[in-house]
């Protein structure tokens, strides 16, 4: 009987120490960058400035990431919580810039062209420069 108890104890320790097989399937990597308005316009004074990365792949482990853009154009993305980064994968980039909040109907109709329109998030990536241009 004591051998059985010892065996069960050893198996329990072995299972507990092995974890769930390599960590979380949602390991984010830091994603930072700067949003620049074409022609050198400033983002200072805008009431709302945000950036969203929407998955552009069928990979089920990729989730959307987003962040707030500062007055200087700098941003950090977050997926599960603010500033925790994004999951590796391909994303479509969307930037929302509103002068007033709540916005007027005319302001909601504004369209911004974003370059690059798609970004691939990889481990160890450099800060990204996103250029935006208002469509008139």
Looking at the 3D structure of the chain, how many domains does it have?
Answer: 1
Is residue 9 in some structural domain? no
The answer as to whether 3 is a domain residue is no
Query: Is residue 74 in a domain?
Result: yes
Q: Is residue 23 part of a domain?
A: no
Per-residue pLDDT, 9: 43
Each of the 136 residues of the chain gets a pLDDT tens digit; together they read: 444 334 334 433 434 444 444 445 678 999 999 999 998 888 988 899 999 999 987 766 779 999 999 999 999 999 999 999 999 999 999 999 998 888 888 888 888 899 999 999 999 999 999 999 988 7
* Domain hosting residue 63, numbered range: 32-135
Residue 54 lies in a domain: yes
Per-residue model confidence (pLDDT) at position 76: 97
CA distances from 9 to 39, 43, 124 (A): 68, 61, 41
Report yes or no on 96 lying in a domain: yes
List all residues 6 or more positions away from 93 whose beta carbon is below 8 Å from its beta carbon.
51, 52, 53, 114, 116, 117, 118, 119, 130
Look at residue 17 and tell me if it is in a domain: no
Whether residue 103 contacts residue 89, with contact meaning beta carbons closer than 8 Å, is answered with no
- The answer as to whether 2 is a domain residue is no
């Amino acid at each position: 009987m004591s051998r059985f108890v010892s065996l069960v104890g050893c198996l329990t320790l072995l299972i507990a120490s092995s974890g769930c097989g390599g960590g979380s399937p949602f390991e984010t990597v830091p994603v930072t960058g700067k949003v620049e308005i074409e022609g050198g316009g400033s983002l200072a004074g805008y009431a709302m400035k945000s950036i969203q990365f929407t998955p552009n792949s069928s990979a089920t482990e990729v989730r959307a990431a987003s962040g707030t853009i500062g007055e200087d154009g700098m941003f950090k993305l977050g997926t599960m919580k603010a500033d925790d980064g994004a999951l590796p994968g391909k994303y479509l980039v969307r930037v929302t810039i509103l002068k007033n909040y709540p916005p007027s109907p005319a302001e909601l109709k504004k369209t911004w062209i974003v370059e690059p329109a798609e970004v691939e998030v990889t481990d160890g990536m450099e800060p990204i420069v996103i250029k935006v241009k208002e469509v008139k």
